[in-house]
């Protein structure tokens, strides 16, 4: 398995990967309808990724099977804090891929002076909560009714780790 920064030439494969991923989970923010992004648009986003917004991909035999998206503010008082989301395709879960993506992101973050990584996760998303606890993230609070899915509201944990 290879983990690396996304490149503009990954755009078509990444759009396909992300559509497959969101069709497998309700726990990511985009719905399948909201991911009908064209590869050409995606390539132009990827070209703009930098030290403030970035995507890492995990590849198995050249297929994208996992990703981690990370971003932070340009404001000097906040730029030491980065937020991220991670996802792995169903057939590739429980093989340590999300753990490796988080380790890769931590190294990237430390090299850029980032001191705090944070995320939000639906409280009933047990696999993800277990993943983040195992990789050293601590629950800092509960955001009530912070996600809506089909007229139902879900709470999220705010989880964070200082570097």
* 72 neighbors 52 (Cβ within 8 angstroms): yes
Nearer to ligand COA, 77 or 94 (CB): 94
Of the candidates 6, 98, 105, 117, which one interacts with ligand COA according to CB under 6 A? 98
Is residue 130 close enough to count as binding ligand COA by CB under 6 A? yes
**Stretch of 7-15, 46-54, 109-117, 120-128 contacting ligand COA, by CB under 6 A:** 120-128
Is residue 8 close enough to count as binding ligand COA by CB under 6 A? no
Say how far apart CA 52 and CA 92 lie, in whole Å. Answer: 28
Is residue 19 close enough to count as binding ligand COA by CB under 6 A? no
What is the b/e burial string over 116-134, where b = at least 16 CB atoms within 10 angstroms of the residue's CB? ebbbbbbbebeebbebbee
Q: Which residues contact 41 (CB under 8 A, 6 or more apart)?
A: none
Of the candidates 97, 109, 117, 160, which one interacts with ligand COA according to CB under 6 A? 97
Of the candidates 7, 8, 20, 28, which one interacts with ligand COA according to CB under 6 A? 28
**Number of other residues whose CB lies within 10 A of the CB of residue 8:** 15
């Amino acid at each position: 398995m290879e983990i690396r920064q996304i490149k503009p030439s990954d755009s078509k494969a990444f759009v396909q990967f992300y559509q497959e991923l969101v069709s497998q989970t309700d726990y990511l923010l985009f719905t399948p309808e909201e991911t009908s992004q064209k590869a050409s648009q995606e390539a132009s986003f990827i070209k703009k990724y930098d030290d403030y917004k970035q995507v890492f991909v995990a590849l198995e035999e050249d297929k994208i099977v996992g990703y981690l998206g990370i971003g932070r503010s340009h404001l000097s008082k906040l730029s030491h804090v980065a937020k991220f989301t991670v996802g792995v395709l169903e057939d590739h879960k429980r093989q340590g891929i999300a753990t490796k993506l988080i380790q890769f992101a931590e190294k990237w973050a430390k090299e850029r002076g980032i001191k705090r990584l944070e995320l939000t996760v639906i409280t009933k998303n047990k696999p993800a909560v277990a993943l983040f606890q195992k990789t050293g993230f601590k629950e800092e609070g509960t955001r009530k009714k912070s996600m809506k899915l089909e007229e139902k509201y879900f709470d999220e944990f705010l989880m964070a780790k200082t570097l």
